[in-house]
Amino acid sequence: MNITISVKQLGKKHPILQETIISLDNTTSILSVRNFLELIVKHQVELFHSASFEWEDEDTIHLPKENYLPILTDTGKVGFGAIYNHNKVNIVTAQENAILAFEDGLYAIFYGDDQLETLTEEIDLSQNKSITFIRLTFLAGSYW
């Protein structure tokens, strides 16, 4: 089933990840939030494992074109798409971390305009609403 997701962060003008269509391996269109998160994490881990690794000292493949570099510097982050961490990710551990982070309130999930608040809440993916993950940042300060 194809779904549309985007990732945003509070205080940022532009989303971290624009609306992207991904395909999930599920048999039913009604899922709990826990199962949905597990499917998303599984998809992302498989995508990470299929990405190519760079073993050379000089990265010649991912060098940006001349017209692309100003776009990267305007966003405040210049990345060339290379992955330098060669460790394999454990899917079960990654799924547990994502669920724990959701329970701890490190990110929020919106299905259309509705916020998903519990892991047992069910969502109907056949409605084709966009799904938005919002990474929450906390204020740091002192009590002086």
Q: What is the pLDDT of residue 120?
A: 94
Q: Which residue has the higher pLDDT, 96 or 26?
A: 96
Q: What is the pLDDT of residue 67?
A: 63
In Å, how far from its chain's centre is CA 111? 15
Q: Which residue has the higher pLDDT, 33 or 144?
A: 33
* SS3 category, 101: helix
Please report which confidence band the pLDDT of residue 121 belongs to, taking 50, 70 and 90 as the band edges. Answer: very high
pLDDT digits (tens, 9 = 90+) for 104-119: 989 999 998 899 999 9
Say whether pLDDT at 53 is over 70. Answer: no
Q: Are 125 and 3 in contact (CB under 8 A)?
A: yes
* CA-to-CA dists, residue 38 to 52, 76, 91, 95, 118, angstroms: 24, 31, 9, 5, 14
Q: What is the pLDDT of residue 28?
A: 85
Q: What is the pLDDT of residue 139?
A: 65
**Is residue 13 exposed (0-12), middle (13-18) or buried (19+ Cβ within 10 Å)?**
exposed
Over range 23-50, report the average pLDDT.
88
Over range 120-141, report the average pLDDT.
84
Q: What is the pLDDT of residue 102?
A: 94
CA angle 115, 119, 133 (to 5 degrees): 45
Cβ count near 106 (within 10 Å): 14
Q: What is the pLDDT of residue 36?
A: 92
pTM: 0.71
Q: Which residue has the higher pLDDT, 23 or 109?
A: 109
